[in-house]
Structure 1
Amino acid sequence: MQYGLDDEYTWYEWAEALPTEETPSPELHAIAAGFAAHARHCLPTWCHAGALSPLAALARAFGPREAGLAQAQGLQVSHLRFLAAPQLTEQLAALPDLTGLEGVEVSGDEGSKLAPKESAALVQLAKLGLRELDLEGVPSSKDIEPLRPTLARLSLLLQDKPRATELFERPWPALRELRLERGNATDMAGLAALLPAMYERLPACEALDLFETSITKKVPLLEAMPSSPWIAQLVALRISDHDVPPDRLMHLAQVPFQRLRHLGLGISQARPQLANALASSPSLSAVETLQIHAKVGKAGLQCLIEAWPHLRRIAVWDPPTESVDEVIETFGLRPFVARGGVVVRRVS
């Protein structure tokens, strides 16, 4: 399984070029081929697995209407995006063919929840062998249970239920990627308490993404990571939380990573001292792709580049300019470009 970093802005440019009802089939295939070629270098989710086929790459941005159009033209849709949780069952029923469906994303306003009747949709998706689920709604542990044996990628917006502790009371045998968003301090404290047992409950997991999860000073999650065998086995780790004090991030340098290749730190508190600590960690020397805030500074970036010989790609968050060329000049990255690439991301 391979992981990479995304460039959300280029992804949106491609999404805007997706077909309309008037788009002829040859043009649809041409867009798909171009999208797939781009997606091999710039995946639409931060740590999505593997190279994408042309149709899978294009279908990743399909909603129900576009999916129906694609199916009418003989294309197989592998991923679907729904804009609202309450209509999930109805929207699924409107599609003539769900054969080959691998992933579903349900986006919408924060606070949207799956209605009780929508739990039937999750059962239906489980019967199809769904492997990827991205919910901005909040299912109960009981509702999501049918997907437990087969799900390989899970992304959840944690609000009321389920708490992180409830999610992992039982193993997820096939789960390889986990993304938790907007969890509160209670969620993260519960997750920290579970870390010693997480290796048994997530035996196949290789990628962890914690996005705006309120890892505050009172939550011992970062302190618990160095002694967790599960964290040590990760291939990809991203932490995006602007409230994390820089001194607490130093615990990452103490984790005895054995396989880590992709590290993302969406932390506005990142400083050169953090870069120095990470660069001095032998277990991080194999990192290939890095996301880090521009406040780490020129010296911090250069320190990491010199310490990590396998580093091939850097995503600079919130740089002082949107021009990639200017960022390369500002941070002295010209020599690095010869062996890798630089992505500019605006996150503020």
Structure 2
Amino acid sequence: MAKRIRRGFLAAFLATAGVLLLPLSAAVAAPPASYDELLVVEAQPSSTLRPGGLLDLNLSASYYPSEVAQHRTVVMELPAGVTFGKADNDYSAGPCVPDASGRVVTCTTQDPVDERPALNAQWFVTAELGEDLPPGQNITVKTTLTTEIPDPDLSNNVGSWDFFIAGPVDMSATISAPPGPWRAGSEFDATITLVNNGPNRSPTQLYTTYSPSTLGLQGWPDECELYRGTWNCTFPMLEAGATRKITLRVRVPESEATSVELSSTILPTAPDTDRSNNEGTYAADLLKPSTSPSPSPSPSPTVTPTVTPTGNSGGSAGGEPSLPITGAPVGGLVLLALTLLAVGAGVLLLSHRTAETTEI
């Protein structure tokens, strides 16, 4: 009986909870009255875009995957010389269909819109680049996004996207500076020279490393910034036949290093036909601070007393020079000799008396 009562109570509780939660779940699932969306279009690196190649486009609605279920439509206009290829990615929010010209593509959201892949809010389109596209130029893709839910800001629903069609180039980098050597505190100018030998123009990047790490480098242009010990420069375009020079003021710091070194590498977006000249280097010896040696103490000069010969002093035969007399004064030596003589006489006298006593 008690078991039946517990089961009945549990069933009533679950039914009541379900009734109470129904309005809440309906409120959560209700779409918003308005929703601001935008569209971002991306492609693979420009270095792979060339006449006769492919352009892979990724069209992404804002905040993808989206939390708002609704129908979305994207109309994409391709430039002259570019036509629709395919759009068969399973993760696309819906189909993309070209018009008769192949240059206007319409992408829509498939049903049900509250499930994937519609909620992915992305489309993947591959376009074909014509063989007659001029290299070294940008192409522009235009897009327009419309939504089922009213969008309070339509200005970000329309976009233009530029993509660079690369052509072969030959770029070089060199570094020129005085040969050194340098001491701490020295300053000198170093010039990095970039040359685009053609035949096409291209965006390019420059990477410069240096040693020692505390080397002072002043004079970088606005296109350059320091990132983790490397100066990175991004130049939007270096025309065919153009030269770009960067002159830096270099200050040599106190360091345990034995040399000052700079290395600059140029990397164009377009394929480079000769990479052997893409790196410029500079190296000079770094001198240690000069230290003056402590003066060694000079030995005290030895003074040798010299006795001036007199008439009483005997010299050596044959006129040979006599040795200089050094040591204690002569008067002291005479006194010492007399004392020893007296002691010796006393010893002899005492010995003689002892002998006489023994005979008696």
* Structure of larger gyration radius: 2
TM normalised by structure 1 equals 0.19
Bigger proportion of residues as helix? 1
* Structure ranking higher in strand proportion: 2
TM-score by length of 2: 0.18
Q: Which has the higher contact order (CA 8 A, sep 6+)?
A: 2
